[in-house]
Amino acid sequence: MRILVTGAAGFIGAAVAERLCVRGDEVLGIDSVNDYYQVSLKRDRVAHVEGSAGGRFAFKQVDFADWSALSAALEGESFDRIVHVGAQAGVRYSLENPRAYVEANLMGHLNLLEVARARGSSHMVYASSSSVYGGNEKLPFAVEDRVDHPVSLYAATKRADELMSETYAHLYGIPLTGLRFFTVYGPWGRPDMAAWLFTEAILKGEPIKVFNQGEMWRDFTYIDDIVAGVLACVDNPPADDGAPKAGGSTKVHALYNIGNHRSEKLTRVIELIEDACGRKAEVQLLPMQPGDVARTYADIDAIQRDLGYQPTTRIEDGIPKFVAWYREYHGV
């Protein structure tokens, strides 16, 4: 099977593309390779996938939010399924550059839905986010919960993606699965995420910023567990049977949480990074950031029930693996 993967130079996209190729699928990866963070890391990820893909990976640099450019890039290319994990990521950056989120996450998602419709794709798996739960106080967050009150533009765009997908499933019968990812970390991770920021600062002897006076919890999910969930979804399109799916749709559209089903206090993660680095952190306790939430915690009952998903990596194992990769990648 040949699969189109968007965001293939990104953290999750590159990991998914690599695993698909290793198991024998062919992948066409696309990515705009923008400068939201260092382009060198994105190009290194692509090179890493190419090195392990056994000739089953092809890559094109294209902005999927640009319909003309996307259409031209895909002309003559065949693929059956789509994994759309490309997006403008980051909650805090959405306060600085809101238009980037509308272009990438709204227009980009619409463009991929249109590609799926025109190609008659048998399934599109797409990235949503745990951010859609906003300030929900009920824990853990379940896909049945209401998500009508986002606290960041990033979250609002991801919820809008879910709603557009429901419409396309209804109008055109395109099988779609949305995945609400919870705080992904691991080798080849993103420089704007906590694990990277804290590791970098500790190794440089610089202070780390911890918001909400340290009262922050996250459902940290190791990249290998995320990829396992994505592939399980790719292989199991929602059935066209009129029965309610995870998330409540009776169309061919399912929504799943992919998390570790554990909410870890950020100070515990810092302790593990300190241990792996062999150094203590200088911590700056700061107020809550606009658009942020104090706690995330994934209810994964739906994806466990439907697909047998079971995360296996505890932060006590995953954080040291990330730090080891970080030190090797940077030579520190």
Q: What beta strand segments (E) does the chain contain? A: 2-6, 26-31, 57-61, 81-84, 123-129, 176-181, 184-185, 207-210, 217-218, 221-222, 253-258, 264-265, 282-285
| CB of 94 closer than 8 Å to CB of 152 | yes
Place of tokens 């290998």: 224
3-class state of residue 302 by DSSP: helix
What is the spatial distance between Cα 156 and Cα 154, in angstroms, rounded to a whole number?
Answer: 5
Inter-residue contact 82 to 124 (CB < 8 Å): yes
In the numeric block, the tokens 């619409």 are attached to 110
Read out DSSP for 2-30?
EEEEESTTSHHHHHHHHHHHHTT-EEEEE
- Kindly list the distances between the CA atom of residue 33 and the CA atoms of 45, 173, 226, 236, 267, in Å, as whole numbers in the listed order: 11, 32, 22, 30, 33
Residue 299, number of CB atoms within 10 A of its CB: 19
How far apart CA 16 and CA 27 sit, in angstroms, is 10
- Is 329 annotated as catalytic? no
What are the structure tokens assigned to 26, written together?
Answer: 């062919």
Nearest alpha carbon to residue 125 among 22, 237, 228: 237
CB 59 within 8 A of CB 112: no
The active-site residue out of 154, 168, 185, 309 is: 154
Cα–Cα distance list, 146 to 134, 179, 183 (Å) = 10, 16, 20
Q: List, by residue number, the catalytic residues.
A: 154
